[in-house]
Chains A and B, each alone.
Chain A
Amino acid sequence: MPMSSSESATALKRTVIIAIFSAVAVVLGILEAQIPLVGMGLMPGAKLGFANIMILTCIYFLRGRDALLLVVLKTLLTAFLLGSFSSLLFSLSGSLLSFVVMFLLVRFGGKRFSLIGISIAGGLAHNVGQLLAASMVFSSLSILYYLPLLLITGIVTGIAVGFAVRYLVTSLSKISLFEEFLD
């Protein structure tokens, strides 16, 4: 199906944005993997979730399928670069559940929740998805022992990520590349 030039320009912009966002998300993912959270006395397995900044921003500007592509790209690339393929199943189930929750909240809960609330919900969904996948693989619920602690750290990191997304959305809205994706 032939596209008009403005349609193809939009498609190209989307592709460029997804590519940039994936690159930034992967870098953020690698950066936070270097931060020794456990050494600082935090929950093992807890993460700052900085890559979520890019995913939530993408959901905000682009369509759901674009953000889904970003989530899959980011998860696969991070697994490649960190060599953590054996835990791909867990990170994928976490990030997919987190994506679904944030997507639904941005589309249908935007009046009741701010970006901060949505980012918290996404972070919590990430933890829950990962732990559920783990408890299925282990066929044991004992991993959920750490869920309450992960929920609390998830709230804290979710607030930080939410503020970052708010600043990023405001700044990006001023760039011409993002102009036509504003609602």
Chain B
Amino acid sequence: MKRGDVLLISIVLVAALAFLAPRWFSSNDEGGPGKNLVANITVDGKLYRTVKLTEENQTIDIRTKRGYNILKVHDYGIEMYDADCPDKVCLGFGFITLPKQTIVCLPHRVLVEIASASGEDDIDAYVQ
């Protein structure tokens, strides 16, 4: 290991921690009931649907020419339930409940991002 290596590692570590640290402090009590969170689902960069994160179960089927993704909403969060993409990376994101968390399925160009619904209360894509 040379000095340049150590410098590179420390700079990248500091930068990564600088991005991570604010999340640890703010992510304690967000999400859950009463927060009115929504999940914005985009396919190919275009908004596909906005779903309210409810306690009740909802299933969202996304079928495109690339394949299918099935999302499940429950307990104020959302998770990728099934997909026929080759790498299955999207299934690994697990159950997400906090604003700014995302689920990505690169092969199918599907992006799910949690946002707070305040300011855009007139969402009409509330799926039962």
Name A residues whose Cβ lies closer than 8 Å to a Cβ of B.
33, 38-39, 44-45, 82-84, 86-87, 90, 109, 112-114, 116-117, 120-121, 124, 134, 137-140, 142-143, 145-149, 151-152, 154-155
Contacts and interface: CB of A to CB of B under 8 A. Distances in A.
Contact of B86 (A83, A145, A155): A83
Given A120-B8, A140-B113, A134 B3 contact: no
Contacts, number: 103
Nearest to A88: B107
A86 B108 contact: yes
Interface string B6-26: 001100110111011000000
Contacts of B91: 38, 44
Contact of B109 (A114, A121, A137, A154): A137
Interface of A is mostly: helix
Interface of B: 1-5, 8-9, 12-13, 15-17, 19-20, 42, 44-45, 66, 85-87, 89-93, 100-102, 104, 106-109, 111, 113
B45 A138 contact: yes
A147 B23 CA distance: 13
